Amino acid sequence: MWKEEIALTKVKETNPLKKMITDVEEECSRLKNKTFVLEESMEQVNSNISEKANDLKQLRAQIRRVDKQLEHHMQEIDSEEQKWAAEMENVEKHRTLLEKKVTLGYDDAMEELKAAKQQYQIVLQETKEARRTVVNNLAGVFTTAIDHLSIVDK
């Protein structure tokens, strides 16, 4: 009996210990599985982070290219605006110069017209005086001729 009691006590003591060992082994297995799943998730997250970092690098490079293109276009536009401004300034200078020349030419033409009108009036006056003189001379010649003819006819 003594042996049976020891065996029974041994079984009573070993059964909970075996159960605890089984529970611990199951918990270890569950934790290993959970660790494995977490490691896989962490690898996936790290892979996603790496992909997104590469995408971000590509986007930054693309932004730099677009910024350079924009800056180049803005420089071209600025250059064109400067050319147009210079051209407009040049055109404005030419317009102002032409206006001055036209005004001077008009003033000169008006002075010449005034002088020509004055000259015309002088020539007209002289012509009238010359006609009167011619008419007077012709009248004198006709009078003399008539007088002479009347004397000769008598």
Give the tens place of pLDDT for each residue, 96-129.
999 999 999 999 999 999 999 999 999 999 999 9
Alpha carbon distance 31, 36 (integer Å) = 8
More confident of the two residues 5 and 43? 43
Residue 123 identity (one-letter amino acid): V
Alpha carbon distance 27, 12 (integer Å) = 23
Per residue in 16-67, pLDDT tens?
888 899 999 999 999 999 999 999 999 999 999 999 999 999 999 999 999 9
SS3 154: coil
Sign of the CA dihedral running 118, 119, 121, 126: positive
Alpha carbon distance 128, 12 (integer Å) = 166
Confidence of residue 93 (pLDDT cuts 50, 70, 90): very high
Domain limits, the chain? 1-112
